[in-house]
Structure 1
Amino acid sequence: MRTLIIAAVLALSTGSALAQETVLLHAAGSLRGALTEVSSAFVAAGGPKVTQVYRPSGLIREAIAGGERAEVFASANMTHPQALASAGKAGPVVLFARNALCAFVRPGIEVSPATLLDRMLDPAIKLGTSTPRADPAGDYAYQVFARAEAVRAGARAALEAKALQLTGGPTSAPVPAGRNAYGHVLAEGKADLFLAYCTNAGPIGREQPGIRMVHLPETLAVGADYGITVIASASPAAYRLALFVLSPPGQQILARHGFVAPGLPKE
């Protein structure tokens, strides 16, 4: 974070009038609710307007690497922004939020943390994930499968073979505007059980009250580290936005949306 602050100071020392700027934010879809509120708070605190683009982090990385204009990239993992930094297309990457994977289950299906692996392996259960490489949520789901191998021999191969990659990919079926992708897939019956970020509990609960969230047992638990970076040649205002995300007000908003905010004091 110290490196990011130094970069921000240098950018601000050479920048023009901030009031005329618009910051272009690219962020993981799981951050939509939190960073929409953060962006509003940033503007209310005197920052410029924020144009927001939400897509799976892997697809954002590919787009930026291919020349798509962006200024701030908030990713659902550290790998994608670090790849841009290593290529000289972005500045230092800073951890700004943490998440975890949970299981979301359709009504009528009995699942508990203790029986979760059995249910995921059940041939009658349609197991949904996001798309690995394109969407970190899919990568984290496959990490769960790898952890399952230590619990039961053969589980990893069985889970990878049956997993339905239903969201987050370049060819995934579109989701109605304003709807949570995972809740929609479950409600449509395309999956019975879906591995997704725990922060989806709020949106899914509001849209599909019958869908339950089940925490993964410790043997299967997988966490998610979120990284933020400023793209090379971004405006001074982009650094201001990144620092606002890392500031106590930004971190408090992330915490209200269910993320672990590493910038806040531990209770």
Structure 2
Amino acid sequence: MKVLAAGSLRTVWTSLMAPFPEPVEAEFGPAGLLRERIEAGEFCDLFASANLAHPRALLAAGRALAVFPFASNQLCLTVRREVWRKGDDWFSLLTRETLRIATSTPGADPSGDYAQELFTRMGAAGESVRRRAQALVGGRDSAPIPPGRLAAEWILHSGKAEVFIGYASYGETLRQMEGLKVITIPPPYNPLANYACAVITPQAQPLADFLLSVEAQKIVQQAGFLPSPCGRGALFSPSPRGRGPG
């Protein structure tokens, strides 16, 4: 079985697939770019995205049989520890104009889209942050992240930025890395990333069912993800006028 999956699922995927009885070949990348590959005709049995929009677009185009939300995530800031000052919070760090801010690439990578939503939720202050932020990873022409490195750690330790906006599921790992500090972004500013899988072929249905199981949900949440706000087992099916997968 072949799966195309959001890059943010890479760190949990091996442990997640360990209890699943069938062999699964997974390839990871920015969900927007993976969706484009499927639309261009690349074969996969299941597509796991870091947002609902890309799987639902495949469903609407008749390229998926069903869409199941299965987890969620949030954003956090990772900063180089030497730039953090006593009393700093997420807002003061983002609005400090001397700090360079890095994000993933909007459109290609949902993490970049959620960062843009964060800026919108910040109001007028966020527009200035939006103009300063640089999309350094997750794009069609972005420099590849070295194997075994996390985007935030690589960007910050290589001196490309002082602040990185990324997924909170990486937070516990990043907190253990020398020279880095992870800062929480509170609601209502923090967007919720709703992960979903698109069932492309009937052979993928057992894997979709497994992702919704109690066992799989426990593994995903132990890795720093949150439950899906849609509820376990929520389903989006094609309209009666939709055609089969193409």
The TM-score bracket by the shorter chain reads: 0.7 to 0.9
Q: Which moved more, 1:191-200 or 1:209-218?
A: 209-218
Are 1:174 and 2:148 matched, yes or no?
no
1:123: Cα distance to partner?
A: 2.0
| Counterpart Cα distance in 2 of 1:72 and 1:125 | 40
Q: Within 5 Å, which residues of 2 pair with 1:36-51? A: 36-42=14-20, 47-51=21-25
What amino acid does structure 2 have at the position aligned with 1:259? F
Aligned to 2:132: 162
What TM-score do you get using the length of structure 2 for normalisation?
Answer: 0.88
Aligned to 1:11: none
Aligned to 2:3: 25
Q: Considering fraction of residues, name the structure with more helix.
A: 1
1:88: Cα distance to partner?
A: 0.2
What TM-score do you get using the length of structure 1 for normalisation?
Answer: 0.81
| Counterpart Cα distance in 2 of 1:128 and 1:31 | 20
1:192: Cα distance to partner?
A: 0.5
1:58: Cα distance to partner?
A: 0.3
| Counterpart Cα distance in 2 of 1:205 and 1:28 | 22
Are 1:89 and 2:63 matched, yes or no?
yes
Q: Give the total of aligned pairs.
A: 230
Q: Which moved more, 1:211-220 or 1:241-250?
A: 211-220
Aligned to 1:249: 215
1:235: Cα distance to partner?
A: 4.7
User: Does the CA contact (< 8 Å) of 1:77 and 1:224 recur in 2?
Assistant: yes
Q: Residues 114 and 186 of structure 1: is their aligned pair in 2 closer, same or farther, counting only changes over 3 Å?
A: closer
Q: Residues 26 and 214 of structure 1: is their aligned pair in 2 closer, same or farther, counting only changes over 3 Å?
A: same
| Counterpart Cα distance in 2 of 1:198 and 1:52 | 23
User: Does the CA contact (< 8 Å) of 2:5 and 2:47 recur in 1?
Assistant: yes
1:205: Cα distance to partner?
A: 3.6
1:91: Cα distance to partner?
A: 1.9
| Counterpart Cα distance in 2 of 1:55 and 1:111 | 35
| Counterpart Cα distance in 1 of 2:207 and 2:147 | 26
| Counterpart Cα distance in 2 of 1:115 and 1:30 | 25
Q: Which runs of 5 or more structure 2 residues have no equivalent in the other structure?
A: 233-246
1:141: Cα distance to partner?
A: 0.3
Q: Which runs of 5 or more structure 1 residues have no equivalent in the other structure?
A: 1-22
User: Does the CA contact (< 8 Å) of 1:111 and 1:214 recur in 2?
Assistant: no
| Counterpart Cα distance in 2 of 1:88 and 1:50 | 24
What amino acid does structure 1 have at the position aligned with 2:11? G
Residue 36 (structure 2) aligned to one of 62, 84, 88: 62
2:64 aligned counterpart, secondary structure:
coil
1:41 aligned counterpart, secondary structure:
coil
Aligned to 2:13: 35
Are 1:188 and 2:154 matched, yes or no?
no
RMSD: 1.7
Q: Residues 260 and 111 of structure 1: is their aligned pair in 2 closer, same or farther, counting only changes over 3 Å?
A: farther
Deviations 1:119-140 (A, max 9, x none): 2122210011100010000000
User: Does the CA contact (< 8 Å) of 1:180 and 1:203 recur in 2?
Assistant: no
1:35: Cα distance to partner?
A: 2.2
What amino acid does structure 2 have at the position aligned with 1:247? S
| Counterpart Cα distance in 2 of 1:221 and 1:239 | 32
Residue 215 (structure 1) aligned to one of 154, 160, 184: 184
2:81 aligned counterpart, secondary structure:
coil
Identity %: 37
Return the index of the structure with the highest Cα Rg. 1
Q: Residues 107 and 97 of structure 1: is their aligned pair in 2 closer, same or farther, counting only changes over 3 Å?
A: same
1:129 aligned counterpart, secondary structure:
strand
User: Does the CA contact (< 8 Å) of 2:46 and 2:199 recur in 1?
Assistant: yes
What amino acid does structure 1 have at the position aligned with 2:133? A
What amino acid does structure 1 have at the position aligned with 2:101? L
Aligned to 1:20: none
User: Does the CA contact (< 8 Å) of 2:68 and 2:208 recur in 1?
Assistant: no
1:85: Cα distance to partner?
A: 0.3
